[in-house]
Every structure is written in C-alpha cells, then in structure tokens.
Structure 1
Amino acid sequence: MYTVIGATKSRAFRVMWMLEELGQAYEHIPAAARSDEARRYNPSGKIPALKDGDEVLTDSVAIMTYLADKHGKLTAPAGTPARARQDALTFWLIDEFDAVLWAAAKHSFVFPEEQRVPQVKDSLKAEFKRAAAILSERLDGPFLMGDEITLPDLLALHCINWSIGANFPRVDDRLGQWARKMRERPAYIAAQSRDAAA
C-alpha cells in the first residue's frame, strides 16, 4: 500500500487524486510542510512525499509520472509522440501555472515579511490570466489531451483551484466548465473527502 505524506490542501492532493483515479489504496499522513513529520520523509520538509515499500519519492509531478507509468493509466506510453506532447503540456503547466502561483505564494506568506514584494503579484496574476486563455484555446475534447483523462488534467485543475484561493483572475467560461466537470469526478470527490476525515 502507498503512503502519501502531505496536507490535503497542498500539492499532495494531486497525488491523492491520481491514486483515487488509479483505484489504488493508500494511507494519508496529513503532514504540514516543513513539519517534523514531513522531514521524516523529505529532509527539506517539502511535501508531498510518497512511500512505496522502502522507496520514498518526492515532488508531486515526479510522483504522478511514476504512478501513471507504473500502473499504465492516465498517461500516454513512454517513447511515443503522444507522450512527448503530454510531457510538453505537463512542463508548460509547471512553468506557466504552478511556478506563477508558487511565486505569488512566496510573496504572500512563505518568505519572511521583509523579503516579500507584494507588488510582483499583479504581474503574476496577469501572466496566469494569459496562460489560462492559452490553455482554454487548446482545449479540444473532454480532456486536455483529447478523449482520455491524463496527468495534465489533474495538474491543471489543481492549479486552477489554487488560483481561486489565491484571488487570481477567474478562468474563462470554457475552461471553467471543464473544471466543473473535473471536480465532479468520483475520484476527485473521494480524494477531497480525505480532508474532512483528517
């Protein structure tokens, strides 16, 4: 059985949702970032971490890629053009969505107060809005890669949810409708229910 280490309202949710989509059982340790519990699994204290037997893996996207490859679901096969296109979108989402949101978080509550530059958040919000418009434009089908849900769908929705909590601009109606449908997935709801249980 897998063990996911990290608070539900963090990037750990991506891993939990993926495990639910994969139909894999897991234990959840809702450790906060930089807590003693988190440092037991990752010396930096960053979350999430995934325990698979004696192995401990870190970084949400690396964990998701590992799980998708291991179980042969939510991903195109490695070594195919479809996988290269999927990876390109995954890396784009990390650069254009995740990194922008993380930069805003650092200037909101992560950095010591004297190192924060609140004015930078306006440009980050504009950058996110531009990227969200691009993502909406490329949406062609029920999922980002076409007819089947893949890792980028989970990553993108998590970032859109994060953007709402961070008071970033709302995504357009097309992307918003896609996001609503994703939130209705039983696996998403099951992963979210872990928060109430914790």
Structure 2
Amino acid sequence: MYTVYGKTDTRAFRVLWMLEELGEAYDFVKTGPQSEDARARNLLGKVPVLEVEGDSFGDSVAIMQFLADKHGRFTAPAGTVARGKQDAVTNFINDEMDALLWMGTRHMFMLPDDQKMPEIRGPLKWEFARSIDRLAGFLGDRPFLMGDEMTVPDILATHCGNWAFGAKYPVENEDVLAYFKRMRSREAYQRVKALG
C-alpha cells in the first residue's frame, strides 16, 4: 500500500495519476509543501512524498519512475536503449518545460518581493513555446511520446501542459494540443481531477 502526501494542484497530481493508471491502491493525505507531514517525510519539505515499505521519498519524477519500474508498466526496462531514449525525453521535459514553469511561478508568487522579477516571464514564455515545438518533434504522428504505449514522460508532459494553460504560457502547436486533450480524457486522469 502506498501513501501519497501532497495536493492535486501540485506535482503530486502526477504521482496520483500514475497510481490510478497502474490500478494500485493508495492513501492520499492532502497536505501542502512545508507542512509538518511533508517535512517529517522529506528533508526539503516538498510535495509530493511517497511513503512505501516503511520509508519515504520525494520528487514527482523519481516517484513516477519508481512506480513504473516496480510494476513493470508505463516504462521501458532499465538498461535498454529504449529506456535511455525515454529518460532523455523525461529529462528534456523536466529541463525545458517544468523548469521554465517553476522559475516563472517562483518569480510571481514564491520569492521575497525584493527578489521577484515578474518580467522574466517574457523570455520564459518564449523559451517554453520553443520547447512545445520540440515536444511535437518527439511526438511526431505517434499516439504517445515514446510510440504506441504511454510512458512516464506522457504524464510529465501533460501535467506541464496543464500548468502552462493555468500560467498563460503559449501552447499553440495543434498536434501537441490534441495530444494533451487525449491525455486529459483518460479515465485515470479524470479520477485524480475529481479528488480536488
């Protein structure tokens, strides 16, 4: 049994979605970053945190990949070229989409006022638009980023797409928009969305 600590308006959504896709049972403890629950289970106090087998760890991508590896689904096997390619796409999304969104969020809401530079969002949005076009290149005419089957980077990319819509970052590529729409229509996604 797994326990997920976090909120659905954070990166915990990704972990919950993976668990729903896997059909694995879990408990969901709604708690925010830097809460007592989060700090007790993650040195950084960030969410999500996954508690499993009497231990816990954080980072949404690490958790998703752990779950995919543990259950042998939504991933290529470790040590294969296919997994190397999958990890390259995952790292691209983390570096070129998630990081841009997070930087913009920090400068709007998280940093002390004397450290905020809201104008940084302009260059970040420009760079994000380029990343969306590159994502389209990975996708090509396939249903998922790595081919015919959904993998970890699909959850990561779609969550970044949702974040981008909310933060008003440009997502104008029609193929990527259609891909995000397909991903958001999945039953597992809808179940997590209903958790609120």
Segments of 5+ residues of structure 1 without an aligned counterpart are none
Q: Tell me what 1:133 maps to.
A: 133
RMSD: 0.9
> Counterparts of 1:79 and 1:150 in 2: how far apart (Å)?
16
Distance in 1, matches of 2:65 and 2:168, equals 29
Structure 1 runs of 4+ aligned residues shifted over 2 Å read none
Deviations 1:147-169 (A, max 9, x none): 00000000000000001111111
Task: Give the Cα separation in 2 of the matches to 1:134 and 1:164.
Answer: 18
Q: After the TM superposition, which residues 89-168 of structure 1 pair with which residues of structure 2 at under 5 Å, given as runs?
A: 89-140=89-140, 141-168=142-169
Alignment of 1:69-80 (within 5 A): 69-80=69-80
Identity %: 48
Matched with 1:12 is: 12
Aligned to 1:190: 191
Note the C-alpha offset of 1:43: 3.0
Distance 1:148 1:142 in 2: 8
User: Which one-letter code corresponds to 2:77 in the other structure?
Assistant: P
Residue in structure 2 matched with residue 37 of structure 1 by the alignment: 37
Residue 80 of structure 1: CA displacement? 0.5
Distance 1:186 1:21 in 2: 8
How many residues are matched? 195
Find the counterpart in structure 1 of residue 60 from structure 2: 60
Shift of 1:130: 0.4
1:119-157 CA-to-partner distances (Å, cap 9, x unmatched) read 111000000000001111221311000000000000000
Cross-structure match for 1:177 = 178
Distance 1:86 1:57 in 2: 22
Distance 1:65 1:124 in 2: 27
Gaps of 5+ in 2: none
